[in-house]
Amino acid sequence: MNVAKTLGTERHRALIALLVEKREASGLTQTELADKLGEYQSFVARLESGQRRVDVIEFLELARILNFDPLDALGRLAKE
């Protein structure tokens, strides 16, 4: 079984757009979000530029910090 590459796909771009939208709506900068994640700003920059995948645990932590429903967000992405 081959797993499809996900970086750069339409669905991956939609995920990144959603995360950027939620970060901006929360009023956080990349640096502030990184601090809340216990990461460097470059971690968030790589994530938001699409250079890095988001794993499930990171996604759930982002949803908690950015105050959005992860199941609703996944439902939106599944329809993309």
Q: Is residue 3 one of the residues assigned to a domain?
A: no
Whether 2 is covered by a domain: the verdict is no
pLDDT at 4: 61
| Structural domain for 48, as ranges | 10-78
Q: What pLDDT score does 3 carry?
A: 54
Q: Mean pLDDT throughout 36-44?
A: 97
Digit-coded pLDDT (tens) for 55-72 = 999 999 999 999 999 999
pLDDT in the model for residue 6: 79
Residue 4 lies in a domain: no
Indicate whether 26 belongs to any domain: yes
Check residue 8 and give its pLDDT. 82
Percentage with pLDDT > 90 across the chain: 79
Query: At a CB cut-off of 8 Å and minimum separation 6, what does 58 contact?
Result: 37
Q: What is the mean predicted confidence (pLDDT) over 73-80?
A: 88
Q: Residue 59 belongs to a domain with what CATH number?
A: 1.10.260.40
Spatial contact of 63 and 70, defined as CB atoms under 8 Å apart: yes
Tally of domains within the chain? 1
